[in-house]
Amino acid sequence: MSIERNSAILALAMMFAVAGCSNAPRNSEQPPEPTTVDIQGATEWKRSPHMLAYYEATVATFANGTDIDVAAYEARSFEIFREFARANGRSEQGMVDHLKLIPRQVVDIVKADPAVLKDYDAFWAALAGPD
């Protein structure tokens, strides 16, 4: 597994741990079905026009295949993240620092499974897990 993919998996595992969820079986019970936890406003973020713009920018970037200018995609992603921060009264640099690994992780995810771009829900599930 790539370092970026491991980072994404670790981040998701930490979100579940912070929320008090566990996939460990309880005694002889079956493990619980995985769920998505609204950590750091993930559901609210999904409804944001900025995140929809990020999806649309990603679709446009990959419109001709997966051989893209990664640096340009990352720069465009950071522009959107800064706009999102301004719209929410947050630090632009803080938001970029918080999301800095996402663009390159998205590149890896799309290269592995271009179907994540079929619609916004599929894209969001690839980023944050299913609703």
Residue 9 lies in a domain: no
Question: Would you give per-residue pLDDT tens digits along the chain (131 residues)?
Answer: 444 444 444 344 333 333 333 334 444 455 444 444 444 566 788 888 999 999 999 999 999 999 999 999 999 999 999 999 999 999 999 999 999 999 999 999 999 999 999 999 999 988 887 66
Residue 8 lies in a domain: no
| Domain around 93 | 40-128
Residue 17 lies in a domain: no
Q: What is the 3-state secondary structure (H, E, C) of 8-43?
A: HHHHHHHHHHHCCCCCCCCCCCCCCCCCCCCHHHHH
Could you tell me the pTM of the whole model?
0.68
Number of domains the chain is built from:
1
Residue 24 lies in a domain: no
Residue 47 lies in a domain: yes
